Amino acid sequence: MADTRITPATEADVPLILEMIRGLADYEKLSHAVTATEDQLRQTLFGPRPAAEVLLAFHDNECAGFALFFPNYSTFLAKPGIYLEDLFVKPHARGKGLGLALLTELARLAVERGCGRVEWSVLDWNEPSIGFYKKLGAVPMDEWTIFRLTGDALLKLGSTKAS
């Protein structure tokens, strides 16, 4: 891993971040769902209220992976946590330790920030990633189901006055 480097992303890295997002979406067969633009990423990641942080993984001076994450909170632990939204390594760079390096740096940040846990989701069919995560000691939360409110349903509920 001597030729691997993990760095926090800066505003100048927005084109690389969008490239990584598109690569992840392609891998997950969800390219059609990506509507993000460089301007939106610049505003939401580096504007007045950044919504998330990004780590970039470089191998042989090529940006070959990323992790995008944001804080969450555990009421049971009464501690902050980190939610890993996206982790992606370009196919040609897999097996070189970049995913491990990204998760190691994320875990280091979580410990440094006093977090009680790091959480993420993985698609059920992504067996290579599931195996990788289990080898790290991560455990699936099989008793939990993720719900999502988006699009028209979000707009409808969000425009309703609470009673």
Burial of 53 (0-12, 13-18, 19+ CB in 10 A): middle
Active site residue: 27, 73, 83, 133, which one? 133
DSSP line for 66-129: EEEEEEEEETTTTEEEEEEEEEEE-GGGTTSSHHHHHHHHHHHHHHHTT-S-EEE---TT-HHH
Give yes or no: 133 in active site: yes
3: its two tokens: 């030729």
Residues labelled as active-site residues: 133
